[in-house]
Amino acid sequence: MPLRKDDPRSVGGYKLVDRLGAGGMGAVYRGRSRSGREVAVKVVHAQYAEDPVFRSRFRQEVEAARRVSGAFTAPVVDADPEAARPWMATQYVAGRSLADRLRDRGPVRGVELRRLALGLVEALRDIHRAGVVHRDLKPANVLIAEDGPRVIDFGISRAAENHHTLTETGQMIGTPPFMSPEQFTDARTVGPPSDVFSLGALLVYCVTGRGPFDADSPYLTAYRVVHHEPVLDGVGGPLRTVLERCLHKEAAHRPELDQLAQELATALPEPAAGDPAVYESPEDDPRTMGLRGEAWPAGAATGQGADFDRTTGTGSGRRRGRGRGRVRGRRTLWTAVGTVGALTLGLLGYIRFGPGFPDDSRTASSSSASRWAAVPTGWRAWQTTVYKPADRGEVKALGSAAEGQSDCLSQGASVYCGGHGVLPVRLDGRTGRTLWRAGLAAPGDDPTQYDSWVLGVYDGIVLVRETITEEGAADNPTHIVALDATSGSQLWSRKVNDENVDLIMAGDVVLTAESDGRTVTARSPRTGEARWAMTLPARDYCTFLSAGTDLYAQCFPTEQNAKYSALLQLDRADGTVLARRQIPFESGFLGVVDGHPAMVLADEESGSTSLQDSTFAKILLTDPTTGGQTTTKLAKTYQGSVTLASDTLWITGANGEVAAVSPLTGKELWHTRTSVENSGSPTYDSRTHTLYLASPSGRVAALDTRKGTLLWETAPRVGTASTDDASDPKALLYGGVVTVMTPDGTLFSLDPAHPERKSGPG
């Protein structure tokens, strides 16, 4: 749109060439720098520029918005919150909004849907890493660029429009069809899972043309979001399962973004050979044949995108055509401000910066004192053991720390533990309270003969490998047991013969071994129903591994003096062997680096194929297409445990030394000495660029992964501990806190900003 008479001709050295839109806070222009770089410039209305409260909030939000930068967001390039009329410039994106695209072309399907969904997950990951929760993810706030979606509007525009409707008690506004239940019931508890809920609602809308909680008014919509199950008519197959989890009422049960990316990549597979990269219209996509005129209800695609108050310009200009009147009508409905209890409804949502948690939380910054994310709402420092009485189920423990070893994993706000002599338990990650203990053992069972190792948690189901050893028995039965994550009650059990295979959870399936010891079956965690089966190579022992969206099996011949093992790449959908590569016997699968399966080559004299406590000096990379192999010699020989994360080898020695090594060049990036001995595998936190190590005695260290700087160490928590336990100590991540598990069954949770703060009993 052309500039108006009262529009400025330049702002902050940027020449304004077009008006892109306007909203309650200000106007958005397409600007051009002296070098020719195009930007989108948002200029605040004069009446808000005179308000000191708004100006202060705008200043804080600009500073926070600078931290949000990624491939699928539009970064801030310049700003002046102190100007007579505050302004901000962001990268200009030549593309229209997702709302416009949906209105004009209908549902998003096939390759386009995959690209959109995975791009939005990546965008949210960048936003959350910056300590921000978007709170208003909707089609109008997504731009469609040539190389993928862009998420815009990180709260700058909300500050003005909400200035008179947002109270200091944290009342929340947003766009009802895409808001999470916690945004309506208690805005102070809103965190990253809220954006996952909004993403689920947005994807349902993209596929069906209806929101999962649509109603005739924003108040009825709000009620349905809080109390009703989502309506997913028109969404089928694996995608429906993924979106159901995103739309779970309880934030803790929604998938985290890394897990969600894997599930969406599986549910929305890559295009077949010859498919175009993007279908320009539904009619061009053979997968939508027969759906024309059916997927979109009348007027459904016209309600989410009439908002021109954008931080980033688009090339689409103003709406045209028949849908404009309907858009204006729906927009008027959704922008009505009213109160339902403490609820304030509006079209634009306010984003709270800092870590995206309640106002009294500490904010993250680039300084060393405040680099950490805020702790979750309701969390306090705690310490407990897996042997504490439980609230429900088998209240008392089977054994004690003197006769058992434990191992734990975390998902959301819960910690799940099992082990040798340990019945499966679930703990509350906020308080350390033992919520339940599964009653699997019979009265009088010897705890020294009982094992229950937690394989994983998926869709509210806990999968456990249970073995009861009987003295002199020819067959010690092993079972895969599925437990309800809420109650700990048993849902199903199946006897397995895992003599020749290590069993794992792999995304949305659990791999079980049949009675012949050679057939591996992928089963549904919820029902135990078989999805596919495969036969292991004869006379091989196989270890299954999950790396990103890929599933692998490394199979070792059992005959003496074998020189090679096999690395199999499997199709998660049906177990088909996609590729089979011959690799040295003395190797261990690490994961995938830049699309290449990576193996650590153990020193021949050590004879170890374990990634723990081995001696190694080489990394083997396999080309996924040609099968060609490249060996990278490391700068020196290492001995210890090696973990691959963020395309870096994190190597920890028994003496407390830690090294970061590039698997592509073999170069040592840094080397640091700590007092955390026998730590096992470290834990990498991509949000804060931190590596955590824990010792069997409960000593914990945190290192900056960019330079190897030792940030802090703690004193031991459990005294002298054996280094011969069956499991390694672990640091588990939950929100902004770290939960540490030691093999003797001790668990404690600490705030990385105050690691020595005293813990209370769980």
Catalytic residues: 136
SS3 273: coil
**CA triplet 400, 404, 407: central angle to 5 degrees?**
115
CA distance 571 to 574: 6
156-177: b or e for each residue (b if 16 or more CB lie within 10 Å)?
A: bbbbbbbbeebeeebbbbbbbb
How many CB atoms are located within 10 Å of the residue 433 CB?
16
CA distance 172 to 521: 48
Q: In what order do the strands lie in the sheet with 629-645?
A: 587-593, 596-602, 614-622, 629-645, 648-652, 657-661, 668-673
CA distance 21 to 349: 18
Nearest of 52, 140, 87 to residue 335 by alpha carbon: 140
Cα→Cα distances 52→47, 55, 178, 305, 618, Å: 11, 5, 32, 31, 61
SS3 497: coil
How many CB atoms are located within 10 Å of the residue 50 CB?
11
Dig out the tokens for 141 from the structure.
């706030």
Which residues are CB-neighbours of 514 under 8 A, at least 6 positions away? Answer: 496, 497, 520, 521, 533
SS3 114: helix
SS3 243: helix
Nearest of 426, 322, 319, 373 to residue 747 by alpha carbon: 426
What is the residue-wise DSSP string for 556-601? EE-STT--EEEEEEE-TTT--EEEEEEEESSEEEEEEETTEEEEEE
Dig out the tokens for 624 from the structure.
């996924």
Residue that has been written with the tokens 């320009």 in this structure: 280
- Is 458 in contact with 263 (CB distance < 8 Å)? no
Dig out the tokens for 502 from the structure.
């290590």
Enclosing H/E stretch for 631: strand 629-645
By the 10 Å C-beta count (0-12 exposed, 13-18 middle, 19+ buried), 107 is classed as buried
Cα→Cα distances 309→43, 94, 157, 202, 329, Å: 11, 16, 7, 19, 17
700-704/710-713 β-pairing: antiparallel
Nearest of 313, 306, 312 to residue 335 by alpha carbon: 306
- Is 676 in contact with 694 (CB distance < 8 Å)? yes
Backbone angles phi, psi at 13, to 5 degrees: 90, 0
Dig out the tokens for 593 from the structure.
């680096």
Which residues are CB-neighbours of 608 under 8 A, at least 6 positions away? Answer: 586, 602, 614, 615
How many CB atoms are located within 10 Å of the residue 77 CB?
18
Residue that has been written with the tokens 């229950």 in this structure: 452
CA distance 182 to 226: 8
- Is 109 in contact with 287 (CB distance < 8 Å)? yes
- Rg of the chain on CA atoms, in Å: 27
